[in-house]
């Protein structure tokens, strides 16, 4: 990968001898550039005024002000895959920069300031498929501010720094950050040397890039699962597996997890190096796991059993990343069926498509003849919950809230 990293402070001059700045030494950003180069990536480092040697294998561009930094980053952005903004960019600069030293007698104790451009926000429009990572320097618990900056600056991840904590932030040899993303649970990196924090961040960014770019195989023959992935803009090939399914009578969640994992592993064995996604969905009602009805008579019996009752749809989702790391989870939704007369059931079976007849009803199509209400995630009822896919595929897919129907 090609990393573009910024480090250090910026200086915003009021005249040739006076400037506004902050205590950043560049240590954290230099450590990120060094870690990227050590991990075998290309690394370009845009550095504010600091007194640190250039890490081996890193190309360095020196800048002074926030405006310089914006231009340097803008010009190198096209050739990078990940931008890591570690620099403490000054938010304000003097409205005027005098060409010669201002005389004390001519100053009235006020300095007019103007806002500096925000580098990340300005370049958001040119982001494309690149990964944008920021740092958030806060005093106190940085979580809420970090999440706000993540959203406002359209970042993929942000390392939140409590710079008031001992051993953290400006000038220290160590740091501790919590990494927030738009798609997964936060990860805390405890206090350690900045070089170790940097290595962890570089690995995380590498994993995100790999998860997004690896060919994805969907180990399923379900057209509905394929449709859900397509609607998210995910590229994939579908390849059903013949993995045998098990049923653990008193453990619906365990059943779908085991089946999804077995399908995923069977498919991964055929596609080493690819990312593989598999799922298994069952209906659970009154302590019974309902298998898929085989024919119209089976469907009639199945619907008769569920009539007027609430059942739970369990989906197990299993994912194997391109690096071989496996993740398995379960999603659960609750669906209440109307009281269905034998005639209503027969009418439904006559008009529903074969998938619906197999019990995998589409709650918006013919399934609306059956469904009175539901809670949970819509796509789970359709066979592939989106919430876990965010973390697996490292993308901030929108997840519909409970009871929301898809737009048509």
Interface with ligand PMT (CB under 6 A), residue from 149, 225, 257, 395: 149
Give the H/E segment covering residue 354.
helix 354-357
Distances (CA, A) of 27 to 6, 49, 197: 11, 12, 11
- CB nearer to ligand PMT: give 91 or 332: 91
Report whether 56 contacts 37 (CB < 8 A).
Answer: yes
Interface with ligand PMT (CB under 6 A), residue from 28, 35, 202, 218: 28
* The two three-digit tokens of residue 55, written as one number: 């890490």
Judged by CB under 6 A, does residue 92 bind ligand PMT?
Answer: no
Non-local (6+) Cβ contacts of 158 within 8 A are 133, 134, 135, 136, 146, 147, 149, 150, 179, 180, 181
Tell me if residue 380 is catalytic. no
Q: How far is the CB of 262 from ligand PMT (least distance, A)?
A: 43
- CB nearer to ligand PMT: give 66 or 394: 66
Judged by CB under 6 A, does residue 86 bind ligand PMT?
Answer: yes
Interface with ligand PMT (CB under 6 A), residue from 4, 5, 14, 26: 26
Distances (CA, A) of 157 to 18, 134, 146: 35, 7, 9
Judged by CB under 6 A, does residue 137 bind ligand PMT?
Answer: yes
Judged by CB under 6 A, does residue 80 bind ligand PMT?
Answer: no
Q: How far apart are CA 185 and CA 142, in angstroms?
A: 15
Judged by CB under 6 A, does residue 394 bind ligand PMT?
Answer: no
- CB nearer to ligand PMT: give 21 or 213: 21
Residue nearest to ligand PMT (CB): 134
Judged by CB under 6 A, does residue 119 bind ligand PMT?
Answer: yes
Q: How far is the CB of 30 from ligand PMT (least distance, A)?
A: 8
- Encode burial over 144-173: b for 16+ CB neighbours within 10 A, e otherwise: ebbbebbeebbbbbbbbbbbeeeebbbebe
Question: Among candidates 174, 178, 201, 173, which has minimal Cα distance to 189?
Answer: 178
Centre a 10 Å sphere on the Cβ of residue 68 and count the other Cβ atoms it contains.
Answer: 16
Q: How far is the CB of 134 from ligand PMT (least distance, A)?
A: 3
Judged by CB under 6 A, does residue 357 bind ligand PMT?
Answer: no
- CB nearer to ligand PMT: give 159 or 266: 159
Residues annotated catalytic, as ranges: 22
Contact positions vs ligand PMT (CB under 6 A)? 8, 24-29, 66, 85-89, 91, 116, 118-120, 134-137, 149, 153, 161, 163, 169-171
């Amino acid at each position: 990968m090609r990393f573009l990293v910024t480090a250090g402070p910026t200086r915003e001059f009021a005249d040739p001898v006076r400037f506004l700045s902050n205590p950043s030494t560049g240590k954290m950003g230099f450590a990120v550039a060094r870690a990227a180069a050590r991990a075998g990536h290309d690394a370009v480092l845009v550095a504010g005024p600091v007194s640190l040697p250039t890490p081996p294998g890193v190309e360095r561009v020196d800048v002074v002000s926030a405006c310089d930094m914006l231009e340097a980053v803008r010009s190198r952005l096209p050739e990078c895959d990940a931008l890591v903004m570690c620099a403490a960019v000054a938010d304000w600069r003097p409205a005027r920069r005098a060409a010669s030293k201002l005389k004390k007698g001519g100053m009235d104790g006020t300095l007019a300031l103007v806002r500096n451009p925000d580098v990340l926000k300005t370049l958001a429009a040119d982001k494309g498929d690149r990964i944008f990572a920021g740092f958030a320097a806060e005093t106190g618990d940085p979580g809420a501010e970090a999440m706000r900056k993540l959203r406002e600056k359209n970042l993929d991840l942000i390392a939140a720094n409590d710079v008031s904590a001992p051993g953290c932030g400006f000038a220290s040899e160590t740091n501790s950050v919590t990494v927030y993303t738009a798609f997964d649970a936060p990860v805390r990196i405890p206090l350690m040397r900045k070089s170790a924090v940097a290595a962890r961040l570089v690995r995380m960014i590498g994993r995100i890039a790999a998860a997004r770019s690896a060919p994805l195989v969907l180990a399923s023959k379900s057209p509905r699962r394929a449709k859900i992935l397509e609607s998210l803009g995910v590229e994939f090939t579908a390849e059903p597996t013949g993995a045998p399914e098990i049923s653990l009578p008193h453990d619906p969640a365990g059943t779908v997890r085991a089946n999804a994992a077995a399908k995923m592993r069977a498919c991964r064995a055929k596609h080493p190096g690819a990312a593989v996604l598999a799922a298994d969905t069952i209906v659970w009602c009154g302590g019974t796991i309902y298998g898929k009805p085989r024919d119209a008579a089976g469907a009639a019996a199945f619907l008769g059993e569920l009539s007027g009752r609430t059942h739970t749809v369990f989906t197990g989702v299993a994912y194997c990343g391109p690096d071989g790391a496996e993740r398995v989870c379960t999603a659960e939704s609750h669906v209440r069926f109307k009281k269905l007369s034998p005639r209503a059931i027969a009418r439904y079976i006559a008009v529903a498509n074969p998938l619906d007849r197999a019990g995998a009803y589409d709650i918006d199509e013919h399934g609306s003849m059956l469904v009175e209400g539901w809670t949970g995630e819509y796509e789970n009822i359709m066979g592939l919950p989106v919430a876990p896919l965010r973390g697996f595929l490292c993308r901030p897919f929108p997840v519909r809230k409970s009871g929301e129907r898809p737009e048509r």
